[in-house]
């Protein structure tokens, strides 16, 4: 009998002796986990209530509560699944008639090659706020991440075609547009297929002009076309720069906010010189502003010094509701209609309209 066997024997004895204790502890933990799983959003306030209740109620009573909550959840999940099957994806031919006369269409690319600065959020929430004000808006999702599409509740895996097919010349823009996703708001969605476009377009003729040709066909049908760009300056972004009349540059109020902006402006100038002479900045938008921090104030004043009047007066505040809205497939104007985020994007929509 070696050292290893003696260790095994000791280990076995230890487990046998401690098993009863352990099983009590683990079953207590398991039942707490079940309760927590049944009420995931009420953890913190419920903990104290639950402890008080535990003193008064028996374990059997608690078990009944857990199983009832679980079956409620199952029912909700089942009815959600039923709704999912029942909702067909609309085609452009089913679009509600536009009641007003659309004047000049403004094509605006929402661009900053820095990631996570609020491009997609602004595309969705500004688009929805303009729609609420009676404007006709098209959002073109030009990012393979497809955040604008999923943030509006579009299930990308159910789509046969997306903006990728348009860029490759295999569909027209109206073939892929999903109309009236919200009031006045249509979406040309993106799926992960779009990730291949950067490579596949390289071999194509007039590859920088693909989106310009596509948007040309819908000019006169929308007041605003917003293009949500990916966080890079590759061929997809160049397509957006060629197609756009103007740029909207969101800048997050954080350290290094202006990092990379010079590169972005260089790209804009290059496209302006060679491909799109009228391209210009429409506005610079300060996002995720937190008025309680000196950093936000410093960044805001630095950006205003750099871009002067091009910066929108309206500043988008940092708001948990804004960040939650996409997971409910809704713009902030629907998810939290009276909150500060919705108010800010509505005010921005008015400023956008006033800029012509
Ligand atoms: N005003 C805000 N307050 C709080 N969170 C925000 C706000 N705006 C955006 N966010 C959150 O910040 C994250 C990045 O936003 P968003 O996806 O709009 O940025 P992006 O520039 O489109 O990113 P990417 O470069 O990856 O495309 C998201 O989780 C979003 O919900
Ligand atoms: Mg994005």
Q: What is the pLDDT of residues 192-221, one digit of tens each?
A: 999 999 889 988 878 999 999 999 999 999
Question: Each residue of 218-250: pLDDT tens digit?
Answer: 999 999 999 999 999 999 999 999 999 999 999
Q: What pLDDT is stored for residue 7 in this prediction?
A: 41
Verify whether ligand 1 is closer than 6 Å to residue 117 (CB atom).
yes
Q: Give the mean pLDDT of 42-48.
A: 38
Q: Which atom of ligand 1 is nearest to the CA of 320?
A: 4
Residues with CB under 5 A from ligand 2 (ion): 119-120, 147
- Strand order of the β-sheet with 137-141 is 178-182, 185-188, 137-141, 224-228, 106-110, 246-252, 280-287
Q: Which atom of ligand 1 is nearest to the CA of 288?
A: 1
pLDDT at 354 over 70: yes
**Are the C-beta atoms of residues 110 and 250 closer than 8 Å to each other?**
yes
Question: Residue 231 is encoded by which pair of tokens?
Answer: 């966080």
Q: Give the mean pLDDT of 291-316.
A: 96
Q: Give the mean pLDDT of 2-7.
A: 42
Q: Which protein residue has the closest C-alpha to ligand 1 atom 6? A: 323
Verify whether ligand 1 is closer than 6 Å to residue 121 (CB atom).
yes
Collapsing DSSP to helix, strand or coil, 135 comes out as: coil
Q: Which protein residue has the closest C-alpha to ligand 1 atom 13? A: 116
Q: What pLDDT is stored for residue 5 in this prediction?
A: 45
Verify whether ligand 1 is closer than 6 Å to residue 318 (CB atom).
yes
Range from 1-5, 139-143, 233-237, 307-311 carrying the lowest mean pLDDT: 1-5
Question: pLDDT higher for 245 or 17?
Answer: 245
* Residue 285 CA: distances (Å) to CA of 68, 212, 302, 326, 351: 48, 24, 13, 20, 11
Return the ∠ at Cα 252 (arms to 247 and 254), rounded to 5°.
150
pLDDT at 303 over 70: yes
Is the whole model's pTM more than 0.75, yes or no? yes
Question: pLDDT higher for 338 or 49?
Answer: 338
pLDDT at 135 over 90: yes
Q: What is the dihedral of CA 121, 133, 104, 314, to 10 degrees?
A: -50
Question: Residue 79 is encoded by which pair of tokens?
Answer: 């009815």
CATH for the 102-354 domain, from 3.90.1170.50, 3.40.50.300, 3.90.480.10, 3.40.50.280: 3.40.50.300
Q: 80 CA to middle of ligand 2, Å?
A: 27
Average confidence score pLDDT of the chain: 83
Q: What pLDDT is stored for residue 170 in this prediction?
A: 95
Q: 77 CA to middle of ligand 1, Å?
A: 28
The CATH 3.40.50.300 domain(s) of the chain lie at: 102-354
């Amino acid at each position: 009998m070696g050292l290893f066997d003696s260790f095994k024997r000791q280990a076995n004895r230890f487990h046998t002796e401690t098993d009863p204790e352990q099983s009590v502890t683990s079953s207590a933990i398991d039942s707490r986990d079940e309760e927590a799983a049944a009420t995931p959003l009420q953890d913190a306030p419920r903990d104290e209530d639950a402890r008080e209740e535990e003193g008064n109620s028996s374990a059997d009573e608690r078990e009944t509560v857990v199983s009832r909550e679980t079956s409620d959840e199952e029912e909700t999940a089942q009815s959600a699944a039923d709704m999912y099957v029942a909702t067909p994806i609309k085609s452009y031919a089913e679009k509600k008639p536009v009641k007003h006369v659309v004047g000049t269409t403004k094509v605006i690319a929402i661009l900053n090659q820095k990631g996570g600065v609020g491009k997609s959020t602004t595309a969705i929430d500004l688009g929805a706020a303009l729609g609420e004000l009676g404007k006709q808006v098209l959002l073109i999702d030009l990012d393979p991440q497809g955040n604008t599409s999923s943030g509006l509740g579009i299930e990308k895996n159910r789509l046969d075609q997306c903006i990728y097919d348009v860029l490759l010349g295999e569909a027209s823009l109206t073939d892929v547009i999903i109309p009236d996703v919200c009031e006045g708001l249509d979406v040309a969605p993106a799926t992960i297929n779009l990730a291949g476009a950067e490579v596949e377009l390289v071999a194509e003729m007039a590859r920088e002009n693909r989106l310009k040709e596509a948007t040309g066909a819908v000019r006169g049908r929308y007041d605003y076309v917003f293009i949500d760009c990916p966080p890079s300056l590759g061929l997809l972004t160049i397509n957006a720069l060629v197609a756009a009349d103007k740029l909207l540059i969101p800048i997050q109020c954080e350290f290094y906010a202006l990092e990379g902006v010079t590169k972005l402006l260089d790209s804009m100038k290059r496209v302006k010189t060679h491909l799109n002479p009228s391209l210009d900045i429409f506005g610079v938008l300060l996002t995720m502003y937190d008025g309680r921090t000196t950093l936000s104030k410093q960044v805001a004043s630095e950006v205003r010094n750099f871009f002067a009047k091009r910066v929108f007066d309206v500043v988008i505040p940092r708001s948990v509701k804004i960040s939650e809205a996409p997971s409910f497939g809704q713009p902030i104007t629907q998810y939290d209609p009276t909150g500060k985020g919705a108010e800010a994007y509505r005010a921005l929509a008015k400023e956008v309209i006033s800029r012509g």
